[in-house]
Amino acid sequence: MGKTLFDKVWNQHVVREINDGPLVLYIDRHFIHEVTSPQAFTGLKEKGLQVFRPKQTIATADHNVPTYDQHLPIKNALSRKQVSTLTENCKTYGIELYGLGHPFQGIVHVIGPELGITQPGMTIVCGDSHTSTHGAFGTIAFGIGTSEVLHVLATQTLLQYKPKTMQINVEGVLQNGVSAKDLILYIISKIGMGGATGYFVEYSGQAIRNLSMESRMTVCNMSIEMGARGGMIAPDKVTFEYLKNREFTPRGNALENMKSYWDSLKTDEDAVFHQELTFHADDIAPMITFGTNPGMGMGVDEKVPSSEHALNGETYSFDKSLNYMNIDAGKPLLGKKVNYVFIGSCTNGRIEDLRQVARVVKGRKKAPNITALIVPGSRQVEVMARKEGIDKILEEAGFELRQSGCSACLAMNEDKIPKGEYCVSTSNRNFEGRQGPGSRTLLASPLTAAYTAIKGYIADVREIL
Amino acid sequence: MKIFDKLISSVVPLVDENIDTDQIIPARFLKATTREGFGENLFRDWRFDDQGEMIKDFPLNNKKYAGKILLAGKNFGCGSSREHAAWAIFDYGFRVVVSSYFADIFKNNALNNGLLPVQVSETFLETLFRNIEDNPRMEVEVNLKAQLIILPGMALSEPFEINPFKKHCLLTGKDEFEFLLDHLESIQEYEKRSFYTLETF
Ligand code: SF4
């Protein structure tokens, strides 16, 4: 029987199997950031251990950093301490750090790919659930807890059980105005938040193949939002083109050698998944969420469903959710006034996303009621945006481009949405209070978010495309 | 890691499904660089209003309920991978979480911290919720060795699954880490045949 892409990469990384027990899985690259690593380093210190392979761990400061005046000391004392603890730990243990001020700094899942650290066939982990993003390269990438961060620091391995595999096929061609974000929000709205728990997903089909590398990252990024351990896409020409000439990708002959390995990274014709699902791209409209989990989404021009239509009979949580959002079942969201828009995050904070935003706002003006936060996913994205004049287009429309970080995606810094306010956000989670206590998040694509910022209310971007 | 063997306790019920780790411990409390003290902010925004006043009928505040077992609707612990969620639940005083299923990363984090996730069937979960509504201080027994969750007063029980290795770790207090450290030689051996060790970086 043939093997899936997942099986191939997984098997390649098994150090040892233990009868009746877990297996020891080798980790090629490990990313760390300031929030989930300090306690792991403490554990290392307590045990008197060293970092086993310091060159295979890469650090950045992203979750808890300000998005303006990054050259000044961080105002909040606790945040400052967290970032300086990371700096000290990296120094002590010889780990490369792309901290504030470094040209490579940025959200961990944005910088890995853009620097070419993420490569096909690797295993990658990080103390962060959206590590699944890196799966876009045909990589087994998943989030871990802080205890496991310690395990990787000390041994470059993890104890793992092999998850089941799921194939999600998306056939057909996405319509104009429908992006990768809509595609993944659509899938999650169909299978629910726990729909892929216990599985590793491979995305395939024409609609996936047609996506750019950055769009593939958007899809894989949100795999965790349906409970999947991770998601991956087989590498192909698009992948190889993207990887060429990146900071850490091999050059010349070395690249050619790797390519022949990368070419083998695809699911065999006769391989069998534990579960297979198929969706059709033409069924997908620009999406928006109306509830407090990413599975509560609908086409932007639809009416909010009632709890009778809640997935898996989750009626209690559904009603509680609408109540928190102060959104009525049976009514449309189009035209609903929104005062905040957030564009950024590891889901949609890359250059392609900012280009989409520029396409919408160019020659238009921001609605007066809107406060918009536009936050690049990395320093490099910011530099590119400025080079391309995107910052000017934004300014002319009344927006401002910030400095890179996670920002209002999780609101650990001062970028918060006030209590009771709605925010159309390109991030990945609309949980209660995710963007600040009492905030109400509606997830959407960069196109939809940008158009909402122009209109001052939820609007269908297809009107102008 | 603390040893877990058997626990008999009353239960605190949270009927919500899909409780995410942002609710368990909101991001603004993740600024600490140690593991201690997260229990104080467990379910912070569900336990306290924005004036800092306790919300009296929230089950963790409700005097009706007490105990070391947290009972929750399905898909508990989804969302962010923050291990702080498991630390907060443990630090608050819970030793077991019962639900009809758990998000993967949370389950792992819990087990790595001596907090036992007990996965039961939907029907058994409903039975538990119903009985606790009738009798809020009803005791439940969780027996790890026998892999059973028991309602002693009612002659009702259900077996639960746990990975044999994780079970061994909990029963003996040994953690995965020590086990991995014993394997450093085979890891070095593996590196000789790997594509992506440091030389390629
Ligand atoms: S942008 Fe948001 S989801 Fe992504 S790593 Fe940062 S906090 Fe997590």
The set of long-range contacts for A256-261, using a CB threshold of 8 Å and a minimum separation of 24, is A258/A119, A258/B195, A261/A120, A261/A121, A261/B195
Asked whether residue B197 carries a pLDDT value surpassing 80, the answer given is no
Domains along chain B with CATH numbers: 6-162 (3.20.19.10)
Residues of A in contact with B31 (CB under 8 A): 35, 64, 76, 78-79, 81-82, 412
Name the average pLDDT for chain B.
94
Query: How far apart are the C-alpha atoms of B37 and B18, rounded to whole Å?
Result: 25
Structure confidence at residue B198 (pLDDT) = 59
Asked whether residue A314 carries a pLDDT value surpassing 90, the answer given is no
Structure confidence at residue A18 (pLDDT) = 82
Q: Which of A184, A427, A431 to mutate to test the pocket of ligand 1 (most atoms within 8 A of CB)?
A: A427
pLDDT range class, residue B2, cuts 50, 70, 90: confident
pLDDT range class, residue B201, cuts 50, 70, 90: very low
DSSP state of A360: H
Residues of B in contact with A81 (CB under 8 A): 31, 33
pLDDT per residue over A156-202, tens digit each?
999 999 999 999 999 999 999 999 999 999 999 999 999 999 999 99
Contact between A39 and B200 using a beta-carbon 8 Å cutoff: no
Contact between A157 and B180 using a beta-carbon 8 Å cutoff: yes
Q: Dump the DSSP string for A90-144.
A: HHHHT-EEE-TT-TT-B-HHHHHHHTT-S-TT-EEEESSGGGGGGGGGS-EEEE-
Contact between B81 and A143 using a beta-carbon 8 Å cutoff: yes
For residue B155, what are the CA distances in angstroms to B122, B135, B151? 19, 15, 6
The three-state (H, E, C) secondary structure of B143-180, written as one string: ECCCCEEEEHHHCEEEECCCCHHHHHHHHHCCCHHHHH
Query: How far apart are the C-alpha atoms of A406 and A403, rounded to whole Å?
Result: 10
Contact (CB, 8 A) for B131 and B138: yes
pLDDT per residue over B50-109, tens digit each?
899 999 999 999 999 999 999 999 999 999 999 999 999 999 999 999 999 999 999 999
Please state whether beta strands A23-26 and A14-17 pair in parallel, antiparallel, or not at all (unpaired): antiparallel
Asked whether residue A283 carries a pLDDT value surpassing 70, the answer given is yes
Residues in chain B: 201
Comparing A18-22, A272-276, A324-328, the range with the smallest average pLDDT is: A18-22
Asked whether residue B200 carries a pLDDT value surpassing 80, the answer given is no
Which residue has the least CA distance to atom 2 on ligand 1?
A409
Structure confidence at residue A187 (pLDDT) = 98
Structure confidence at residue B174 (pLDDT) = 87
Query: Minimal Cα distance from A80: which residue of B?
Result: B31
Structure confidence at residue A312 (pLDDT) = 84
pLDDT per residue over B133-153, tens digit each?
999 999 999 999 999 999 988
Asked whether residue A352 carries a pLDDT value surpassing 70, the answer given is yes
Residues of B in contact with A50 (CB under 8 A): none
Could you tell me the pTM of the whole model? 0.96
Name the average pLDDT for chain A.
96
Contact between B17 and A36 using a beta-carbon 8 Å cutoff: no
Work out the average pLDDT over A63-78: 94
Structure confidence at residue A425 (pLDDT) = 98
How many CB pairs below 8 A link A and B?
A: 200
CB contact A87 to B (< 8 Å): no
A55 Cα to chain B: minimum distance (Å): 6
Q: Which of A105, A109, A111, A426 to mutate to test the pocket of ligand 1 (most atoms within 8 A of CB)?
A: A109
B12 Cα to chain A: minimum distance (Å): 18
pLDDT per residue over A82-97, tens digit each?
999 999 999 999 999 9
pLDDT per residue over A45-69, tens digit each?
999 999 999 999 999 999 999 999 9
Asked whether residue B193 carries a pLDDT value surpassing 50, the answer given is yes
Contact (CB, 8 A) for A36 and A147: no
Q: What residues does ligand 1 touch, defined as CB less than 6 Å away?
A: A 63, 107, 109, 128, 130, 345-346, 406, 409-410, 427-428
Structure confidence at residue B25 (pLDDT) = 97
Structure confidence at residue A36 (pLDDT) = 96
Compare B152 and B189 and report the one with higher pLDDT.
B189
Work out the average pLDDT over A216-235: 98
Work out the average pLDDT over A428-438: 97
Q: Which of B30, B74, B164 sits opposite A194 (nearest CB)?
A: B74
